[in-house]
């Protein structure tokens, strides 16, 4: 029955959590002809979706509005609607608490609500990034409280989300999807569904394999970014090697090397958070994931490193840092998006705030953010007035910036992203050192 509904695209899909993962997924499913219903505890988000208003960079508003009008998508805060759908995808957050321990409450809460309406032939897919065995040992027992049996009455699988917000080349359809079910039949039916909207499906032997795959991918990025950040610090200490030139040279090797780039730290909901899910689980097995701890230490140090470099360069330019006027460019955690979650640029703002006389920021994607209960607004980027700042710090290399003009009008630039390609004495690049001879 479910197979037929998938084959004919008549299966209705319910998506729990309409954020950076859930909303683009809903849109992709609509594009492929599946009717979707979004469930979210945030009433404002639900109302926006139903009014065709997009709040996610990668979701074009006209397209969302079109699907709302065609009744292909709608949203609600009421979980009971899930009894009318055939497939349920869980895309809720998986944060860490202040002690960096996983907070599975959104997943548990979603599972409990699903258990109340679970019926024969339902397919449930967990997409939130989490530690291995969450699907099997946390979600499954809750769902089976319904009296239904997995693999016989309903199906359950883990399918990690690989979306890269802002990436224009790879989206949901052309990024292979890894699928791991609780039983073979669960994997099979989930793969059938995914084949309808993703070009390539990669079935694996279990849900825990799929969970571990996602954590390997994100930990790999975290560790490699930390490694290159450490190299950047060393180049800076040595003072006469440019890390960016080193990376360009290293990446000419056609095998065995993959470039990663230094910066003010790591951000977003994934890279700084997910490795803690793995180290938490590892402790259960008396296992210490040393790479993760070490990488966090280096990456979390980077905003301090950037601030120290800025203060040092201000002093060298003859300006007393305590009297300096500084402009930060880019607050989002990466280029061309508006996501501020765990952004290292925000960390830089917080650390440098009391060390300089005046601090402002500009970000074309972030009109404002909250700091100490105050709303801090992005200032207009007036090139003629860039000279009024003693230092301009490039923290996120948005494509919208005119770097030639920034170079022309600024007095001193701290470039943490190698955004300014031209060599110039007033540009102080992260990972180049003060004696680097341009």
- Cβ–Cβ under 8 Å, residues 417 and 431: no
| Residue 270 Cβ vs ligand NAD, minimum distance, rounded to whole Å | 5
CA dihedral 141→144→150→152, nearest 10 degrees, is 160
Q: Cα dist. 193→18, 135, 198, 236, 382 in Å?
A: 20, 19, 9, 51, 50
- Cβ–Cβ under 8 Å, residues 406 and 383: yes
The residue of the chain with the least Cβ separation from ligand NAD equals 19
Q: Which CB, 236 or 339, lies closer to ligand NAD?
A: 339
| Residue 68 Cβ vs ligand NAD, minimum distance, rounded to whole Å | 17
Q: 390-417 as b/e, with b when 16 or more CB fall inside 10 Å?
A: bbbbbbbbbeebebeebbebbebbbbbb
Q: Which CB, 6 or 92, lies closer to ligand NAD?
A: 92
Q: Where are the beta strands (DSSP E) in 98-232?
A: 123-126, 155-158, 177-181, 201-203
Q: How many CA atoms lie within 13 A of 169 on its CB side?
A: 0
Q: Which CB, 12 or 341, lies closer to ligand NAD?
A: 341
| Residue 277 Cβ vs ligand NAD, minimum distance, rounded to whole Å | 9
Please give the Cα distance from 100 to 281 (Å, whole number).
Answer: 12
| Residue 110 Cβ vs ligand NAD, minimum distance, rounded to whole Å | 5
Q: Which CB, 5 or 202, lies closer to ligand NAD?
A: 202
- Cβ–Cβ under 8 Å, residues 56 and 23: yes
Place of tokens 């996120």: 396
Q: Does residue 270 carry a catalytic annotation?
A: yes
Q: Which CB, 21 or 30, lies closer to ligand NAD?
A: 21
Please give the residue ranges that form the binding site for ligand NAD (CB under 6 A).
Answer: 16-22, 39-42, 45, 91-94, 106, 109-110, 128-129, 161, 163, 165, 269-270
State the catalytic residue, choosing from 30, 186, 270, 432. Answer: 270
| Residue 94 Cβ vs ligand NAD, minimum distance, rounded to whole Å | 4
Positions marked active-site: 270
């Amino acid at each position: 029955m479910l197979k037929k509904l998938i084959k004919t695209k008549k299966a209705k899909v319910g998506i729990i959590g309409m954020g950076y993962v859930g909303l683009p997924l809903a849109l992709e499913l609509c594009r492929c002809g599946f009717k979707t219903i979004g469930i979210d505890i945030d009433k404002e988000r639900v109302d926006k979706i139903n009014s065709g208003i997009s709040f996610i960079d990668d979701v074009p508003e006209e397209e969302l509005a079109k699907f709302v009008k065609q009744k292909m998508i709608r949203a609600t805060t009421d979980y009971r609607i899930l009894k009318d759908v055939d497939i349920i995808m869980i895309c809720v957050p998986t944060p860490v608490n202040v002690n960096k321990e996983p907070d599975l409450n959104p997943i548990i809460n979603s599972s409990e609500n699903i258990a109340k309406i679970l019926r024969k032939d339902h397919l449930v897919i967990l997409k939130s990034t989490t530690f291995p065995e969450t699907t099997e040992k946390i979600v499954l027992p809750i769902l089976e409280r319904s009296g239904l049996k997995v693999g016989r009455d309903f199906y359950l699988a883990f399918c990690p989300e690989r979306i890269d917000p802002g990436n224009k080349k790879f989206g949901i359809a052309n990024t292979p999807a890894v699928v791991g079910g609780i039983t073979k039949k669960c994997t099979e039916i989930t793969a059938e569904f995914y084949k309808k909207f993703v070009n390539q499906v990669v079935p694996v032997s279990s849900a825990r394999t799929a969970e571990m795959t996602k954590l390997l991918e994100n930990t790999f990025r975290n560790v490699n970014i930390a490694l290159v950040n450490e190299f950047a610090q060393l180049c800076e200490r040595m003072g006469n090697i440019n890390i960016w030139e080193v990376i360009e040279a290293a990446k000419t090797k056609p095998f065995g090397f993959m470039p990663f780039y230094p910066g003010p730290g790591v951000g977003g909901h994934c890279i700084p958070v997910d490795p803690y899910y793995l180290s938490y689980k590892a402790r259960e097995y008396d296992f210490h994931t040393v790479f993760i701890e070490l990488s966090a230490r280096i990456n979390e140090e980077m905003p301090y490193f950037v601030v120290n470099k800025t203060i040092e360069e201000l002093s060298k330019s003859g300006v007393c840092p305590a009297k300096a006027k500084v402009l930060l460019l880019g607050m989002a955690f990466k280029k061309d998006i508006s996501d501020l979650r765990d952004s290292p640029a925000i960390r830089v703002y917080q650390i440098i705030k009391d060390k300089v006389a005046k601090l402002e920021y500009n970000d074309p994607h972030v009109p404002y953010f909250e700091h100490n209960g105050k709303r801090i607004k992005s200032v207009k980027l007036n090139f003629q007035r860039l000279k009024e700042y003693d230092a301009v710090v490039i923290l996120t290399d948005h494509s919208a910036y005119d770097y030639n003009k920034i170079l022309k009008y600024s007095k001193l630039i701290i470039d943490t992203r190698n955004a300014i390609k031209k060599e110039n004495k007033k540009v102080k690049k992260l990972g180049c050192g003060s004696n680097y001879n341009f």
